[in-house]
Amino acid sequence: MARASIQLIQALHETAQRLAQGAAYQWGHMGSCNCGHLAQTITRCSKGTIHGAAMWRHGDWREQLRDYCPQSGLPLDEIIDQMLDLGLTREDLAHLERLSHPAIVQRLPQDRKRLLHNRREDVVLYLESWAALLEEAPLGEVRNDSPKASQTAAYDHLLTC
């Protein structure tokens, strides 16, 4: 789970608010989907810039995150770098694209646990629930991140560079 920080919590709230107020949303567009909107907030890049950055390599956000390499110099990897620098993990972003992180889904109201990954209202609820979860954590604390998971992520990184 992401490292709690005021900046990350603000980014989650701001993204949820923009979506709730009607910002252009299209799940199949790399700059207007769930991760794309959070990337817009964090990087201040436009949806077109983010989408264009993603076109240098094939795949959706999940595939791009799997292939991510901080030394690649690819534009989307630089955007992902900024997101990771804020305390997010690649796993957080993959879960965001599908609204599927177990700790966040567990916090949802009982009648809203089955979110649709491409429905604006569900994305807003997920982002707000995620921000609330991070607000409860001591700032800077990494939650649900076992040493084994970190080792696996490091190994995955070596395979993709």
Instruction: Report, in angstroms and rounded to the nearest whole number, the Rg of the chain calculated over CA atoms.
Output: 15
In a domain, 90, yes or no: yes
Q: Is 152 contained in some domain?
A: yes
Q: For the whole model, what pTM was predicted?
A: 0.83
pLDDT of residue 63: 87
Separation of alpha carbons 58 and 26, rounded Å:
18
Q: Quickly count: other Cβ atoms within 10 Å of residue 102's Cβ.
A: 10
pLDDT tens over the chain, length 161 residues = 778 889 999 999 999 999 999 999 998 888 999 999 999 999 999 999 999 888 788 778 888 888 888 888 888 899 999 999 999 999 999 999 999 999 999 999 999 989 999 999 999 999 999 999 999 877 665 444 333 343 334 334 333 33
Answer yes or no: is 12 within a domain.
Answer: yes
Q: What residue numbers bound the domain in which 49 lies?
A: 6-160
Total number of domains constituting the chain: 1
Q: Report pLDDT for 140.
A: 60
pLDDT of residue 148: 35
Question: Residue 1 falls within a domain, yes or no?
Answer: no
